[in-house]
Amino acid sequence: MMRATELCWHCGERLPATIIRATIAGESRSLCCHGCRAAAEWIEQLGLTDYYRLRTQPAQKADIDRTSHLAWQRDEIARHFLRDLGDGRRETMLLIEGVRCSGCVWLIERALLALPGVASVQVNALARRARVTWLEERVGLSSILDRLARTGYRAQPLDARALDEVRRRESRAALKRLVVAGFGAMQAMMFAAALYLRDAHATDATTDALFRWLGFIVATPVVLYSARPFFAGALRSLRARQLGIDVPVATAIALIYGASLVEAWRGGGHVYFDSVCMFVFFLLTGRYLEMRARHHAGDLIDALARLTPPFADRRREDHALERIGIHELRAGDRVHVGEGGLIPADGLLLSDACRVDEALVSGESAPIARRCGEPLIAGSVLIDGPVDMRVERVGAGTVVAGIVSMVERAQSERPQLARAGERATARFVVRVMSLTAVTALGWSVIDPSRAFTAALAVLVVSCPCAFALAVPAAITRALAVLARLGVLVVKPDAIAALAGASDVVFDKTGTLTEPTLALADVQTSERISRDTALRLAAALARESHHPVARAIAAACSDAGLPAATGVISQAGLGVRGIVQGRELRLGASRFALPVRESWNAEGVVLADERGALATFRLSEQLRPGARETIDALRAQGLQLHIASGDSPAKVADVAARLGITSWRARLSPADKLNDLRLMRARGARVLAVGDGINDAPILAGADVAVALASGADIAQASSDIVLASERLGALVAAQRIARETLAVIHQNQRWALLYNLVAVPLAALGFVPPWLAALGMSFSSLCVIGNALRIGRERSSMMRASRPLRSAAGAT
């Protein structure tokens, strides 16, 4: 499964110089840290070592930090997150970090159910949520969280009023409707076949009537129950005085069903109960897939829950700390934040100095040093601490909350470009409707007895194939193909917008570049070789957790590194220690060099008591595939831009390496959004790619937005497309497939038009007998579906050896 010699048995990270060994399930395993060892031993103690066999992904690095979860017992906090189910049972929804694969689900369920008093556990791997119920008198929430923490997962209760219940109800109802429509379509088709295939000469009026009414029986639940969302949607948009897509759909369903009912009543012409069922079934299939994609992508509530910590440590008058829920925090409170902790609210630093990582909030890649009195932003991570801060703004007043509301605004003003396709079909349907009316009128003048049959034939011959299938079949197929490439399309309209994009705006930090730094260049003095300098520096650096130190340590293999003793790290400056008998310093030049001396001061300096030995220059690492992606997108004729919150020098460096000439640096989220508006004013259709919280507004406002799955949840929540694989290259493939899809949709619509131009006049003139109308409809539907199945075919066989997907082919 993995090379046990180099990687941690538990989390799969590279092993440090000092390996920790533990005997798990009778075998000696190497582990990277005490946290991982504790988790692995704990898992063994629970008798759950099967986890290591079941999992498909290594676990998250277990945190040694075992904060007490006792605060969750407090009533004020519990009220917000727990639901009382009566008879002493409590329920909560936990958001669990580090759920990577189904193995985790298995482990979490076993571990919690082994706890006496836990009644039920349901884990959803994709949503990273668990619903837990327990008996209040036997176990508390804090023990549940404790147990999860020991197993290596950090969990956080979600607000009890979370959207989850709504979502669950929605997905259950959609599934029921889909299945009723599917069964109905099958049965109606069978009864209709009996009518089509009967011997025309041996007509038995009673048998015919029987089959017509049978069709009515199975079609009725489909129309009245399954198709209800279409009627509800049509009503809603009519009330808002708009002609949404649901209006023609609902009209067509109602007309075909109503007309067939009248025909069945009169015992005359042909009934189309089978067509109406199939029509509803296909539409619901598309909507069901769309809903599942949307649910997987997470929502704003989740995102906010993860941005700010649930607790804060407030300092009381007597300087003692008390743990309170974040919603109890008020402006003016003095709050204590530990090293590695999340800043709970916007405020001012009261301690001397600290460094914070604001990468997710502002896009700045390097940690920022803050001095006493300078502002701290909620949601950023404190790198060194602990510090005290004074709260200035809480809740909705924080910068992060401001960004969230900006997202909501931008989303509401999103251009409705993608709706153009739907409007086209809507126009088409309106034309069909008017043609039906004209036919009915015409025949009522010539021969009133045939008016109804002919009008109905026009409606059936044209409607289902042309407009019900042309778009959904292509979109459904495209969604499936893209999902296999690791591209989750949250809003299906995004496909059209993706195909039509003219400009791409990239965020830099975390999107084009890796979140970690890499060593770019080493300059040495004449006293030392490059290799020795690097080894000495790495020996010191691996004792520190600073991102710069990590980058230096990563540049050198761990094997045979000299040991560093007496290592002291000074926050914000560097580390010093004794390596091979020499006292060495590694860090900023003002720290490493005791006396000012002439030395290129940029970068990290390694020095001994005699002066500087080497300078290490670090740069950001391009994400793998970034170059190829950029080149491919440019080759497809797109204009490329970078909009970053980072410093100009860093942005310029990355832009130069990728050959992007249009870049802007140090942009606030509002600046980004402004740039976007300017671009759109020029007529550009903008595709935005980002991952941070600071990208969320531009993502929400762009014509089509792509977020990386590794990024902030709020970025994903405001995007149309999520790249689950984190390979930027998938974007190129996605764009190609989107264009292909659009082409297929146009072909389908053109084919439908051609077919209608031939079939509809014939039907209107009364030349089309019912069996031919049904045959024509089926043939035309099959053509459209077959065409849709071509999407991504060459691509998928080329990209990956996967089974061809032909699930939709058998439907008609």
Partner 1 sequence: MNAVLVTIPLALLLLALAVGAFFWAVDHDQFDDMETPGLLPLDEGPAANHPDDDEPIA
DSSP string over 18-71: S-EEEEETTEEEEESSHHHHHHHHHHHHTT-TTHHHH-SSPPPPPPS-----GG
- Report the residue number, 221 or 386, with the smaller CB distance to partner 1: 221
Q: According to CB under 8 A, which one of 168, 371, 423, 806 is a site residue for partner 1? A: 168
19 binds partner 1 (CB under 8 A): no
Piece of the chain touching partner 1 by CB under 8 A; list 179-187, 248-256, 510-518, 685-693: 179-187
| C-alpha span between 303 and 404 (Å, rounded) | 10
122 binds partner 1 (CB under 8 A): yes
Piece of the chain touching partner 1 by CB under 8 A; list 103-111, 235-243, 378-386, 495-503: 103-111
Question: Which whole-number Å values give the CA distances from 61 to 225, 516, 737, in the listed order?
Answer: 49, 17, 37
We find the least distance from the C-beta atom of residue 105 to partner 1, in angstroms, to be 5
- Report the residue number, 183 or 751, with the smaller CB distance to partner 1: 183
CA atoms within 13 A of residue 408's CA, in its CB half-sphere = 9
- Report the residue number, 103 or 309, with the smaller CB distance to partner 1: 103
Burial classification of residue 195, based on how many CB atoms lie within 10 Å of its CB (0-12 exposed, 13-18 middle, 19 or more buried): buried
| Strand ranges inside 636-728, DSSP E | 639-643, 662-664, 686-690, 704-708, 721-723
We find the least distance from the C-beta atom of residue 477 to partner 1, in angstroms, to be 20
We find the least distance from the C-beta atom of residue 164 to partner 1, in angstroms, to be 10
| C-alpha span between 725 and 485 (Å, rounded) | 8
Q: According to CB under 8 A, which one of 142, 171, 532, 710 is a site residue for partner 1? A: 171
175 binds partner 1 (CB under 8 A): yes
We find the least distance from the C-beta atom of residue 187 to partner 1, in angstroms, to be 6
| C-alpha span between 721 and 734 (Å, rounded) | 10
We find the least distance from the C-beta atom of residue 126 to partner 1, in angstroms, to be 6
Q: Is 507 a catalytic residue?
A: yes
518 binds partner 1 (CB under 8 A): no
| C-alpha span between 474 and 606 (Å, rounded) | 60
- Report the residue number, 85 or 441, with the smaller CB distance to partner 1: 85
Helix residue ranges, H only, 718-792: 729-764, 770-788
Q: According to CB under 8 A, which one of 126, 563, 754, 758 is a site residue for partner 1? A: 126
Q: Which of 268, 251, 272, 435 is nearest to 443 (CA)?
A: 435
| 3-class state of residue 646 by DSSP | coil
- Report the residue number, 54 or 588, with the smaller CB distance to partner 1: 54
Q: Which residues fall within 8 angstroms of residue 496, CB to CB, at 6 or more apart?
A: 417, 418, 420, 421, 738, 742
We find the least distance from the C-beta atom of residue 139 to partner 1, in angstroms, to be 18
- Report the residue number, 198 or 666, with the smaller CB distance to partner 1: 198
694 binds partner 1 (CB under 8 A): no
Question: Which whole-number Å values give the CA distances from 194 to 88, 214, 508, in the listed order?
Answer: 59, 11, 63
| C-alpha span between 626 and 631 (Å, rounded) | 9
Piece of the chain touching partner 1 by CB under 8 A; list 77-85, 203-211, 257-265, 307-315: 203-211
| 3-class state of residue 263 by DSSP | helix
Q: Which of 346, 507, 695, 720 is catalytic?
A: 507
163 binds partner 1 (CB under 8 A): no
135 binds partner 1 (CB under 8 A): no
254 binds partner 1 (CB under 8 A): no
| C-alpha span between 144 and 202 (Å, rounded) | 73
Query: In this structure, which amino acid lies at residue 189?
Result: M
| 3-class state of residue 381 by DSSP | strand
32 binds partner 1 (CB under 8 A): no
Piece of the chain touching partner 1 by CB under 8 A; list 35-43, 106-114, 572-580, 799-807: 106-114
Contact criterion met (CB below 8 Å) for 346 and 377: yes
We find the least distance from the C-beta atom of residue 781 to partner 1, in angstroms, to be 24
50 binds partner 1 (CB under 8 A): yes
> 93: which DSSP letter?
E
Map the footprint of partner 1 across residues 619-658, applying CB under 8 A: none
Catalytic (active-site) positions: 507
User: Which residues bind to partner 1, rule: CB under 8 A?
Assistant: 47-48, 50, 54, 102-103, 105-106, 110, 114, 122-126, 168, 171-172, 175-176, 179-180, 183, 187, 204, 207, 210, 214, 217-218
